Amino acid sequence: MADRARIGVTGTARRWSPSWWCTRLAVFLAGGRAVRISVLAPEPAEAVDALVIGGGDDIGVEHYGGDIRKQVKVDADRDRLEIDWIRRALNGEAPLLGICRGAQLINVVLGGSLHQDIRNLRKLTYNRPGLLPTKQVILEPGSLFVGICGKSRLRVNSLHHQAIRDPARGLKLVGRDLDGIVQAVESDGGRSILGVQWHPEYLFYLPAQLAIFRWLVRAARRC
């Protein structure tokens, strides 16, 4: 495993984290080696070649101008840690994959905005949390995502109640669900940045989803 690309994976500090273990497996199957990063282990013992910003609690509203009156579940220490790592990756041009909250946070760091709660926006898609691929995402023709996944329509899972509203400069929207809510973003300047609103780590058994991690590992090897 010494020659495998090292992929930093941020997330909760809880010992038993299904997201971490599934991401670790997906990265391994894609040819890389996952290195865990959390508030309990903020600095890995070795440098990482690429970064996954994982899913989790809501982002603190102070980072994107949200409504402070609404009750949200946040982790301020994790916000600070991941914002720092995103900036490091951007400054060092390391490949970045944002998953759910992670995609939102990359967008916020770059200057974009969020929908604080999308439940009232749902008309055609239930906002019922689930790990199975029950929701449809339509990808933009010619996008990097279509090239990675090999198809323009994906079945994905859904665990979120927030989403990207306005993309930051440097990002373009390339995937939406049936309600038009953003589900995928990528760099509009050729940088190795992808963001997905779903959780591909729980769908690693689907070739189109594992392909996202294969892209990240390939990008890490090129750096």
Q: Which residues are catalytically annotated?
A: 100, 199, 201
- Tokens 């600070």 correspond to 80
Distance CA 87, CA 91 (A): 6
Distance CA 76, CA 86 (A): 15
Distance CA 69, CA 117 (A): 13
The bridge status of strand 153-158 relative to strand 130-139 is antiparallel
Q: Closest Cα to residue 219, out of 21, 35, 52? A: 52
Distance CA 47, CA 27 (A): 16
Query: Which residues have C-beta within 8 Å of that of residue 196, sequence separation ≥ 6?
Result: 97, 98, 99, 100, 103, 156, 175, 183, 184, 212
Distance CA 51, CA 44 (A): 12
